[in-house]
Structure formats: C-alpha cells, structure tokens
Amino acid sequence: MVLFLAALLFGRPAQADDRPSPEARMEVQQDRDGAPGVADVLAMAEDMRKTGAPSNCRQILSSIDGMVGDAQLSDYLYLRGFCAELAWEAAAARDDYLRVIDRGAAHVTEARFRLALVLEDLGDGHGALQQMVILHKNDGWNLDDQIAVNLERALAQVAAGKRRVGLKNLDTALIIAQSWDKHTWLRAKARYVQIDGVIAAAERARIAGGEQHQTDALKERARALAEAQQAMLPLIADNEPEWIVRALYRLGTAYLTLGDELIAARPPVRLTPDQEVVYRQQLAAERDRVRDTASHLYDQGVQLSLRVRFESPWVARMVLERDRLGLARRAFPGYTRARETY
C-alpha cells in the first residue's frame, strides 16, 4: 500500500489552474444579449466542468441567470447542478436535478442518476434507491451504462440500510466492473463501501465485558483492520483521490476508536493492584501506538491531497485530526475545490 501511495503522492501531475482568462471573461460580458451568447456561455461552462473548475463553471453560469430560454433551460439546469455537485454543494445540485426531471425534457436520465449520487451525499439512501429502481427498469442500457447502473443501485441499497443484499449485489457488480476501463470513480466508491462494511462489522463487537469477550473482540478488530488495509490496494489502483482519502480517514478513525476502547477496557479481575498498574501502562502504550498509526494514515491522506490539489470535507477533517494528534502543523495552501468528475 505504501508503494501505491508513494506513486500517487509523487507521480500525479497537479490539476490545471481553474481561473478563466481575461479574454473569456470579456467574451461573457460581450455576449450577454441573445441566444448565441447563452450557447457560448453554456459551452464555456461545460469546458470548465470537464477540466475540474466547478466554482468557475457556476460563476460563468450565473452571468446568464434569467437569460436562458425554454429550449436551453434543461441544459442550463443540468450543467449548473453538475457543477454544484462537483463543488460539494449537494443540496443545490439536488434542486437543479429535480427541476430537470420535472421538466421531462433533455438530460432526465442523467439527472436521475446524478440525483441518486447527491442524495447519498445528503444521507437520503432511500431517496437514492428510489431513483435507481426507476433507472434499473430501463432495459435499453448498453453494457457500459448497465455496469454503472448496477454499481450505483447496489451502493444505494447499502445506503438505504439494505446492507446484506446491497453488499452481495456490489460484489457481483464489481466482478464485472473491475475488468472495465471506465467507471473508476464508481468502482473506487464501491471498494470504499466494502472497506467501511468490514470495519463497521468489527466495531459492533466492542472491547468491553469479560476478559474472554475482550480478547475475542480485540482479535476480530485486528483481523478486520488487516483485511481493510489489504482491500485498500485495489482502491488505490483505481487512482481516485476522493475515495482514497475517504478510506484513509475511515481507517485512521477506526484505529482511534480502537485506542479509546483499549483504555476504557476493564482489567482482568485476577490482577493485584500493582499488576493492574502495569497492565494499564501497557494499554496506554498500545493506545499510543495505534494513535501513531492513525496519525500516519491521516498524514498520508493530507499529503496526497496536497499533491493532486484535491479538497473535500474529509481532507479538512484529516488535517484537524492529524494536528490534534500532535503532528507538526504545516502550511495547507488553497486547492482547486473540485470533486473528481465521474
């Protein structure tokens, strides 16, 4: 895993500067009147979306608010929603996608698919699943589209609380998708959900209660963390920073939880007072070790994000946790605030 991360940290070029040129801004100003101006702005905004500049995309689109005619309104709403999604504005994206669907004109299918993604981001797994059930009934998909639909439908099932059937369907969808060149973002998301499922299952067996129960729970937790770290390898190979960062954050948090539970665990009843003191000192040392592991995982995520100029809420959390755990503070310059485009 370290080798894969090293390749990402030092081998991936930074994203291009996302600021529009002065000429582009002048063009927008000069073309504010008439349908050709709207079409030009939509084309420019689409180029910005594709090159990872969602904030500038939204800024450009705001220059034609109130100027878009009915024939181009669905194009405008869908693109504005897409750029909002990539800028982590899930609620704004949801509203625009819903308007596209309600209009029933262009981009309805794409908007419904992307609506499922942002509803997951907003914690509405049932709403996401509802959209994917509608899409799954379409029997006109080509193989490429069907792979994407199957992946997201399984992910929505997990998000809706149908974990057993969702994870089973996810395993099946990944077997097909892993030999496909496309859909690396969805594939990486699916691998992250699998990792999260392994850790979450182990965390339900808390390190508490009697000595034997504590021992069994600790073994299960160690097994799950080892399995989750092994599962990071194919996720890293998909080369999607968003989900690598999410997985590193999840692993780091799992180690922190483990350390806290170790300290809170009840000592064996057979220990003498002096032995209990030594026992708790050993637990504290073990807690410090797993905290160091968590700090290292957080730092890997931060360094990767700096290298590829990627920002997300998870990166901000990792910075806070890393610094809270005592790693040296360092400059954290601004990013191209963009989610990876899928």
Report d(CA 188, CA 210) in Å as an integer.
39
Condensed to tens digits (0 to 9), the pLDDT of residues 138-194 reads 767 888 899 999 999 999 999 999 999 999 999 999 999 988 888 899 999 999 999
Q: Lowest mean pLDDT: which of 142-151, 223-232, 235-244, 333-342?
A: 333-342
**Alpha-helix runs per DSSP H in the chain:** 2-11, 22-30, 35-50, 54-62, 70-86, 90-103, 108-121, 125-136, 143-159, 163-177, 184-203, 211-237, 241-264, 273-308, 313-324
Whether pLDDT at 91 is above 80: yes
Contact 41, 76 (CB under 8 A): no
Whether pLDDT at 33 is above 80: no
Contact 69, 34 (CB under 8 A): no
Between the CA of residue 146 and those of 72, 128, 132, 139, 317, what are the distances in Å?
A: 28, 17, 12, 9, 35
Report d(CA 58, CA 79) in Å as an integer.
9
What would the mean pLDDT of 215-232 be, rounded to a whole number? Answer: 87
Whether pLDDT at 338 is above 90: no
What pLDDT score does 108 carry?
Answer: 94
Report d(CA 202, CA 158) in Å as an integer.
17
